[in-house]
Amino acid sequence: MHTFAELSQQFDLHFKNRQFPQQPEHLYDAAQYILDLGGKRVRPVSVLLAQEMFSELKTDALHAATAIELFHNFSLIHDDIMDKAPLRRGKDTVHSLYGESTALLAGDVMLVRAYEQFSKMDTAYRNEAFDLFNQTAREVCEGQQMDMDFENQSDVVMNQYVHMITLKTSVLLAACMKMGALIGGASPACQDHLYAFGKNLGIAFQIQDDYLDAFGDPEKFGKQVGGDIQSNKKTFLLIHALQNTDQATRNELEKLLKSSDSGKVDAVLSIFKSCGVDAWAESEKSAYTALALEHLEQVKAADHAKIHMRHLVQYLMNRES
């Protein structure tokens, strides 16, 4: 069994070669560009970690991991177009560099390329992996649409928000875990526990994301703290604050959201603190993490096989950027 860092290296070795044909150059350079921006590769490495809980590392897990990473990057390209985002990881987004039309197409062809990975897999589990991938891809699109719908909706409540985030981001991590387990030869029950593990871990991960954006250490965070507040993004923190404060503070918060004053971020943060949003976020994050770990506990695998998965949990939950 390998650590996250070791599997990350294995994945990079597999993934670093150009994933596309040479021609048409413009299309495939645009697609390759975002892959070359790097990232933590948490999702594909999770496939490998989950697979290794049950058997020696298989090439098919690398194919599945590749499919997931290509899918993730497809969604990033299209999300950046929708958000009109100029930067990703501090670099130009695909559409700012190559134009919107080529970026749109590069996303499309990236999704097709993700599907192509399934042709390489053993037929013993190919169909199940394919169905899981389809379901997940559909749900991610649904989550993205709900997120856009929420932008124009002032009365979003917490359970709707959790449902949206689950679809938009958590089901993909859940699918990574389950796909690894499936390829590794785990029982259906263990696959389901790993799915639930990934899903809850994903929600905890998103709460941590939202928390860092508001309360992170500016020295370590890497991005400007308060970005979500500045752009009026609905987050766990904001939904909680709106639902758990008196009418006067709620009115003030809603007024601040509509403004673009220079003091906006500080004012919202001060309301967040007065509602105890920071402590609440910490406790929610812990609750989802604990739920994730309970499901990991239920997985029938030797305890030493779970150790690297627990390290992943610690790594994701204690990160400061």
Q: Distance between CA atoms of 191 and 129, rounded to whole angstroms?
A: 11
Residue 130 binds a second copy (CB under 8 A): yes
267 binds a second copy (CB under 8 A): no
Contact status, residue 260 vs residue 226, Cβ threshold 8 Å: no
Helix 236-243 vs helix 247-258: crossing angle, to nearest 10: 140
Binder of a second copy out of 45, 65, 68, 111 (CB under 8 A): 111
Compute the least distance from the CB of residue 102 to a second copy, in Å.
Answer: 7
Residue from 61, 137, 175, 201 touching a second copy (CB under 8 A): that is 137
Does residue 131 interact with a second copy by CB under 8 A? yes
Write down the number of H helices and E strands in the chain: 17, 2
Supply 215's token pair: 């309360």
Closer to a second copy at the Cβ: 115 or 221? Answer: 115
Cβ of residue 101: shortest distance to a second copy, in angstroms? 4
**CB within 8 Å of 182: residues ≥ 6 apart:** 125, 128, 129, 132, 191
Q: Contacting a second copy (CB under 8 A), which of 22, 123, 154, 318?
A: 123
Q: Does 125 bind a second copy (CB under 8 A)?
A: no
Q: Which residues pair with 91 in a beta bridge?
A: 88
Which range touches a second copy (CB under 8 A), out of 86-94, 138-146, 194-202, 280-288?
138-146
Under rule CB under 8 A, residue 22 binds a second copy: no
- Whole-number minimum distance, CB 294 to a second copy, in Å? 30
How many CB atoms are located within 10 Å of the residue 226 CB? Answer: 19
Asked whether position 124 contacts a second copy by CB under 8 A, the answer is no
Secondary structure class of 248 (helix, strand, coil):
helix
Tell me which stretch binds a second copy (CB under 8 A): 124-132, 171-179, 229-237, 292-300.
Answer: 124-132
Q: At 225, phi and psi to the nearest 5?
A: -65, 140
240 lines the binding site for a second copy (CB under 8 A): no
Q: Is 108 in the site for a second copy (CB under 8 A)?
A: yes
Residue type, 152: N
DSSP 3-state of 187? coil
If the CB atoms of residues 33 and 211 are measured against a second copy, the closer one turns out to be 33
CA 245 centroid distance within chain: 29
The set of residues, in sequence order, having a beta carbon less than 8 Å from that of 29 and lying 6+ positions away, is 98
Binding mask 65-94 for a second copy (x = CB under 8 A): -------------x--xx------------
Task: Give the total of residues touching a second copy (CB under 8 A).
Answer: 37
Q: How far is CA 179 from CA 41, 65, 187, 222, 251, in A?
A: 16, 9, 12, 32, 46
Near a second copy by CB under 8 A: residue from 35, 141, 267, 305:
141
Query: Which residue, among 197, 138, 141, 151, has the nearest Cα to 173 in the 3D structure?
Result: 197
Q: Which of 5, 12, 13, 26 binds a second copy (CB under 8 A)?
A: 26
Q: Binding of a second copy at residue 116 (CB under 8 A)?
A: yes
Q: Are 249 and 271 in contact (CB under 8 A)?
A: yes
Question: For binding to a second copy (CB under 8 A), which residues are involved?
Answer: 23-24, 26-27, 78, 81-82, 100-102, 104-105, 107-109, 111-113, 115-116, 118-119, 123, 126-127, 130-131, 134, 137-138, 141-142, 144-146, 148-149
